[in-house]
Structure 1
Amino acid sequence: MAYSMEKLREEKVFKDPVHRYVHVRDRVIWDLIGTKEFQRLRRIKQLGTTYLTFHGAEHSRFNHSLGVYEIVRRIADDVFIGRPEWNEDDRLLSLCAALLHDLGHGPFSHSFEKVFDLDHEYFTRAIILGETEVNQVLSRVGKDFPIKVAEVIAKTSKNKLVVSLISSQIDADRMDYLQRDAYFTGVSYGHFDMERILRVMQPREDQVVIKQSGMHAVEDYIMSRYQMYWQVYFHPVTRSAEVILTKILHRAKYLHEHGYSFKSQPIHFYSMFNGELTLEDYIKLDEAIILYYFQMWQEEEDPILRDLCCRFMNRNLYKYAEFEPAKEYKKLAELSVLFEKAGIDPDYYLVVDSSSDLPYDFYRPGEEEERLPIQLLMKNKEIRELSRESEIVDAISGKRRTDHKLYYPADLLQDDSTEPLIKKQIRKLLEIE
């Protein structure tokens, strides 16, 4: 029997708090889960620093990847099976792309990427196509199979239907992380009727469409996404932790570039500091490694690195104030001068952080990120874009919401043992009691 068709003698199941069970019967999927590159995802949290705000948010990219796989497996095996628009030959491609879609995420994903100018999508592709255990498994299916999987994840595949299962405005990725993140953070916002959405999904040549009768379930899904972004993903306390994390990495990089002698040498960082990061180096990185350095750097001679690491490890985070950059740029400049006079480096201790989200958008050709709209299949078989039928979705379509915060260390500003008059001026500007 061909490897691509091989089944396990007995179905394997993972107990899952969101989907109850994740079912694995395909030998290819089981072998991929067992690779060291996929197992690495157990050591990378799905929500980065969010555990410092919602203490239950300890779940991993591994959990989420299995969840996305399970949703796509259900679609392929239960919803689409037997439909003329669905090609059974695409089943394994869909399952592998779903399972591996987050393979290239690094520790504290997005904060890490910003500092070192990395791209997790690049590393996902590199792991799939490189000299890895994942590549060995995929290559057993077919010589060009790793390329096909990588193209689906990168959204460059000609198979638009399979791409839309993994990446669109209503896809298995979003349907899993909204429910999973809501479960582990303990909030109620991210819950929606996924069972109903799966029942009303239908395959078309270029994407999944939703039967008109399921429109209200999709509205609920979009509003759940909107609420989760503003109540969980962009929570200002989580963003405070991200600011400090980012500044630790910036400081460590700066010290390395200026010849500082670390007590705990950051050997895992050298290739990144020097812009020479290899795939082998990248795969060795996980959050346990990063936190080890943060723990050790609490005893460094450099006062800024030491302080930032103590803050992160002991959750002594920055406070924040609402801030409008366009209107308050003079205030920011004044604060920067006062921080320097007070002996507090504004590069590390006075930070503007912005969050922005576009909950739903219709198709805008030529834009930097082309969003495939959600299409409804009407009773007369006509295809209609969702916002043309839903007043709720129309009200938020194309509307980007942006939020700015100014972060600062309130404890240092309350300490009047040094520069009390200047700190009083700063507190007045920041309207600190």
Structure 2
Amino acid sequence: MCVHSFEKSDRLIDEKVFKDPVHDYIHVRHQLILDLIDTKEVQRLRRIKQLGTTQFTFHGAEHSRFSHSLGVYEITRRIVDMFDRNYPNDWDPSMRLVTLCAALLHDVGHGPFSHTFEKIFETDHETITTDIILSENTEVNAVLKRVSLDFPNQVASVITKQHSNPQVVQLISSQIDADRMDYLQRDAFFTGATYGAFDLSRILRVIRPYKEGIAFEYQGLHAVEDYIVSRFQMYMQVYFHPASRGMEVTLDRLLYRAKQLYHEGSLFPLFPLLVPFFEEKATLQDYLKLDDGVLQTAITLWTESDDAYLSELAGMFLNRKPLKSVVFEKGKDDEIVESLRDIVGKLSYDKNLYTMTNSSSDLPYDYKLKSKTPIQLIHSDGTLVEISTVSSIVKSLSGILHGDHRLFVPKEFLEKDMANINMFQEEYDHFQHYIKNGTIIHPKD
């Protein structure tokens, strides 16, 4: 049976809906999609927060990667439904099912506090996503194979951006795709950051397929501009928030210390689910046992560790007492940064555990990116124009990295009240000499 024939026979007599705070209702019209949602690999995403340590800054940001995955599926469903209706000559309806499956599964490989965990244990959520789709030991793979034996490969090829149809790839991964559309709206909703909102309904009206991919009708220019500006604001105000990054750095140093102690043979309590990762021998099944709750349980146990550093860092993370930061200019301030780290190290701290530099940067849009296709506007006669050539707003944001570099240190080094701080006045004054209003001051300034 071909995919298109399977898609027709797989239609539910009565569609299923999920009530969603962002999209109102999420409509499921295929038994295949419903069965994928019910797999243990997708259900695991309920136990992983979408925004990781950002929940410690914006208390409403408790939403999961499961709800985000459903949201990406729903936006993609609305788009392909509209393509089926309005663009039968430009859109291949046999691509519907592979597009919907890729949308639902695009984040299935994420782990707990994904980016921090990935750095310490050298995992990659995109690689794990394709492994979940292709492994014969997963429920996801078994469900996908009901379409055809090759169907898991087709879905995985969308994730790896190797699928032969550029329209399918760009709907899931481009500079304006269903993934970004959902997480911007969803993250704005749950953080309360209204500047993350944009006119999604308008964008979904003006999006259309063409031979080389996805474009937007020219009259939708301002809606696309609004999306790009919203993305810029969310990165600057939410995703790069210094408090969230402070919690991320604290978690990073905590996991680093736990791994260090394991290799020294002195990690206690030992947490068995993490042993394969400490030994760098983790299998896919080991990975799928992890979620936020598992990692937080390990951290809770480590608050009672005999190792003073591990127990303190674990307590700092659980009780939201992150390392604090100052901004520095990379290149210009590198020597000062190292000098300040040395001061921290002299005053009863391990500088490798209690100091760390962290850089966050983002390109709101770049028409030169090789990994992402540029945003194209399409005129009524079919001619295309790249958006930054007709929008001064987009042009001003295009190709420019936005973000900053921060040095994270124990909070007492940035406090003015010395009454309760047990450190030498001279070293503290030397540290403060370079700090003013949260920024490292270069001697020549």
- Equivalence for 1:331: 336
* TM-score of the aligned structures, taking structure 1 as reference length: 0.95
Corresponding residue SS for 1:373: coil
Residue 10 of structure 1 deviates from its aligned partner by: 1.9
d(CA) in 2 for partners of 1:309, 1:412? 20
- C-alpha distance in structure 2 between counterparts of 1:113 and 1:379, whole Å: 46
In 2, distance between residues paired with 1:193 and 1:348? 44
> How far apart in 2 are the matches of 1:402 and 1:25?
42
> How far does residue 389 in structure 1 lie from its aligned partner after superposition?
1.2
Classify 1:333/1:380 alpha carbon distance in 2 versus 1 (closer, same or farther; 3 Å): same
Following superposition of structure 1 onto structure 2, how do residues 259-298 of structure 1 map, counting pairs within 5 Å?
Answer: 259-262=265-268, 264-298=269-303
Is the contact between residue 81 and residue 88 of structure 1 (CA under 8 Å) also seen in structure 2?
no
How has the CA–CA distance of structure 1 residues 405 and 308 changed in structure 2, closer, same or farther, with 3 Å as cutoff? same
**Which blocks of at least 5 consecutive residues in structure 2 are unaligned?**
439-445
Moved more, 377-386 or 21-30: 377-386
Aligned residue in 1 for 2:27: 23
1:206 is displaced (CA, Å) by 2.3
CA root-mean-square deviation: 1.7
Within 2, Cα distance between the matches of 1:379 and 1:114? 47
Q: Which residue of 2 aligns with 1:178?
A: 184
| Residues 218-243 of structure 1: CA deviation (Å, up to 9, x unaligned) | 00000000000000000010000000
Report matched runs for 1:130-209 at 5 Å: 130=135, 131-209=137-215
Q: Any unmatched runs of 5+ in structure 1? A: none
Change (3 A) 1:111 1:409: same
- Partner Cα distance (1:330, 1:374) in 2: 41
| Structure 1 residue 412 displacement after superposition | 6.9
1: distance between equivalents of 2:289 and 2:241? 30
Q: TM-score, normalising length from structure 2? A: 0.93
> Aligned partners of 2:284 and 2:342: how far apart in 1?
42
Distance (whole Å) between structure 2 residues aligned to residue 198 and residue 349 of structure 1: 47
TM-fit CA distance, 1:79: 4.1
Q: Deviations along 1:256-301, whole A, 9 cap, x unmatched?
A: 1111141x21211111111111000000010000000111111111
Confirm or deny: 8 A CA contact 1:202 1:211 kept in the other structure: yes
Paired residue for 1:386? 387
Letter in 1 for 2:120: V
Q: Which moved more, 1:401-410 or 1:418-427?
A: 418-427
Q: SS in structure 1 opposite 2:224? A: helix
Aligned partners of 1:42 and 1:63 also within 8 Å: yes
Q: 1:60 — aligned with what?
A: 64
For the Cα contact (< 8 Å) 1:3–1:140, is it kept in 2?
A: no
Task: Please report how far the alpha carbon of residue 418 of structure 1 lies from its aligned counterpart in structure 2 after TM superposition.
Answer: 4.5
**Hey, what does 2:355 align to over in structure 1?**
350
Provide the residue aligned with 1:40 in structure 2: 44
Aligned partners of 2:214 and 2:437: how far apart in 1? 52
Native 8 Å contact 1:182 1:188 kept in 2: yes
Residue 377 of structure 2 aligns to a residue whose secondary structure is strand
Show the counterpart of 2:105: 100
The ranges of structure 1 where at least 4 consecutive aligned residues each deviate by more than 4 angstroms after the TM superposition are 412-415
In the other structure, the counterpart of 2:435 is: 430
In the TM superposition, what is the alpha-carbon distance from 1:109 to its structure 2 partner?
0.8
